[in-house]
Amino acid sequence: MVTDLVYHDIFVEHVMSPGHPESPERLRSALNSIRSAGLLDSQKVNLLTPNRAPLSEVYLLHGKEYLEGIKEKSEKGGGIYTMDTSVNSYTYDAALYAAGGGIDAVDRVMHGDAENAFVLCRPPGHHAEYEKAFGFCFINNVAIAAKHLLEKHAVERVLIVDYDAHHGNGTQRSFYSSKDVFYVGLHQDGRTLFPGSGFPNEIGMGEGVGYTINLAMYPGAGDYSYNRAFSQVVEPIAESYNPDFILVSVGYDGHFMDPLTNLGLTTAGFAMMNTKLKQIANSYADGRIVCFLEGGYNLEVMGMCSLNLLQELMGIDVTSFDDKYNESNIVSDYTEKLIEKIITDSPLL
Ligand SMILES: [Zn+2]
């Protein structure tokens, strides 16, 4: 079976503002790296052009007036939209195709047409809330795919792992009171980074208590901390929750070279997480995993990490790079204590 690489040319037409770090160059760099490695010629990769998400499905997670506001702004040629988002004439359509990419990807995996998928999209989605464009995001792509799995495929349990350096506030909020979607976020501590949320005491509400976990990492946390977090929290949670489908919010902004954050991951650290996520999918979800691009603002890192993710999904050797970073003992000790607290507070661990 194939790995779908979901991409639409409109994803590079959406531009926030000249020189903005969330730029079309991010996707060009990812695609160049994948193309240079010859993967676009591989029989194992299916370059999939997505459809627009049906508005009826987008309205399940976003207000109608809110979406019409984005549409109107796009139709008028764009401009500044909210404090940290701006729109051009392609933004509304690009956001609908990005969300549609997620829906098409999970449909094809559920139907057995593809083994797994990487949705290489812009604009990203995990900060978008019900009626708030936020953090360079407009429509929450991963949340819409999760909702689609629950509503259209009668899937019972979806595990979303979000390893972008920023807390996926919009995704968390979409399912905060639900046990049908388990949200695990690994991100830089909100006291030191946008959006200022995603603390360990945010564990869900009502029926959803215990079905949200936030690993708020100390600045400087790298491969060691993330490895511990996966082996002591993410993997045991997957065993306990037994998900039917794995969705991943992929962000390469946790890399030590990223210009917007202060984490310490290397390409090997991202590859480790991808391997473990694929193993989780194989162990519990019959291999069903779809990854969504969120952030990542160093263009070289975008290329290396996107190549590695696609290689992992295809099941071929992952190229190793020579980027090195040493996490300090103070940070590792902090992570150990954080993990202890999360294990103590979680009813599922
Ligand atoms: Zn991010």
Distance, in Å, from the CA atom of 67 to the CA atom of 84, rounded to the nearest integer, reads 17
Distance, in Å, from the CA atom of 28 to the CA atom of 44, rounded to the nearest integer, reads 21
Distance, in Å, from the CA atom of 41 to the CA atom of 47, rounded to the nearest integer, reads 10
The stretch 279-303 carries a mean pLDDT of: 98
Give 256 Cα–ligand 1 centroid separation in angstroms: 13
| Residues in contact with 316: Cβ distance below 8 Å, sequence separation at least 6, in sequence order | 44
User: For residue 81, what pLDDT is reported?
Assistant: 84
79-83, 213-217, 275-279, 323-327: the lowest-pLDDT one:
79-83
pTM: 0.98
Give 162 Cα–ligand 1 centroid separation in angstroms: 10
Q: Within 13 Å, how many C-alpha atoms sit on residue 118's CB side?
A: 27
Give 196 Cα–ligand 1 centroid separation in angstroms: 12
Give 295 Cα–ligand 1 centroid separation in angstroms: 4
CA dihedral sign, ordered 39, 41, 43, 48:
positive
Q: What is the pLDDT of residues 39-79, one digit of tens each?
A: 999 999 999 999 999 999 999 999 999 999 999 999 999 98
User: For residue 82, what pLDDT is reported?
Assistant: 82
The stretch 153-174 carries a mean pLDDT of: 98
Distance, in Å, from the CA atom of 345 to the CA atom of 349, rounded to the nearest integer, reads 8
Contact 243, 282 (CB under 8 A): no
The stretch 244-249 carries a mean pLDDT of: 99
Distance, in Å, from the CA atom of 2 to the CA atom of 26, rounded to the nearest integer, reads 24
Distance, in Å, from the CA atom of 252 to the CA atom of 293, rounded to the nearest integer, reads 9
Mean predicted lDDT score pLDDT of the chain: 97
By the CB criterion, residues less than 5 angstroms from ion ligand 1 are 164-166, 251, 253, 295
Distance, in Å, from the CA atom of 349 to the CA atom of 347, rounded to the nearest integer, reads 6
Nearest by Cα to 220 from 168, 174, 262: 262
Give 165 Cα–ligand 1 centroid separation in angstroms: 5
Contact 99, 53 (CB under 8 A): yes
**Helices 64-75, 91-110: crossing angle, 10 deg rounding:** 130
Residue 71 CA to its chain's centroid (Å): 24
Give 252 Cα–ligand 1 centroid separation in angstroms: 8
| Residues in contact with 53: Cβ distance below 8 Å, sequence separation at least 6, in sequence order | 96, 97, 99, 100, 102, 103, 139, 144
Nearest by Cα to 5 from 139, 104, 74: 104
Distance, in Å, from the CA atom of 257 to the CA atom of 203, rounded to the nearest integer, reads 31
Domains of the chain with CATH codes: 2-345 (3.40.800.20)
Give 269 Cα–ligand 1 centroid separation in angstroms: 16
Give 134 Cα–ligand 1 centroid separation in angstroms: 12
**The token pair that represents 273 in the structure block:** 């997480």
Residue 153 above 90 pLDDT? yes
Q: Catalytic: 126?
A: no
For residue 29, what pLDDT band results from cuts at 50, 70 and 90? Answer: very high
Length of the chain: 349
User: For residue 97, what pLDDT is reported?
Assistant: 98
Give 261 Cα–ligand 1 centroid separation in angstroms: 8
Give 336 Cα–ligand 1 centroid separation in angstroms: 23
Active-site entry in 8, 62, 126, 127? 127
- Phi, psi angles (nearest 5°) of residue 97: -70, -35
Contact 88, 19 (CB under 8 A): no
Render 153-202 in DSSP notation, one character per residue: S----EEEEE-SSS--HHHHHHTTT-SSEEEEEEEE-TTTSTT----TT-
* % of the chain beyond a pLDDT of 70: 100
Alpha helices in the chain (DSSP H): 25-36, 55-58, 64-75, 91-110, 141-152, 169-174, 223-229, 235-241, 267-284, 299-314, 329-345
Amino acid at 270: F
Ramachandran quadrant class, 117 (left: phi over 0; alpha: psi -120 to 50; beta: rest) = beta
What's the angle, vertex CA 15, arms to CA 9 and CA 20, rounded to 5?
130
Residue 13 CA to its chain's centroid (Å): 21
Q: What is the pLDDT of residues 93-110, one digit of tens each?
A: 999 999 999 999 999 999
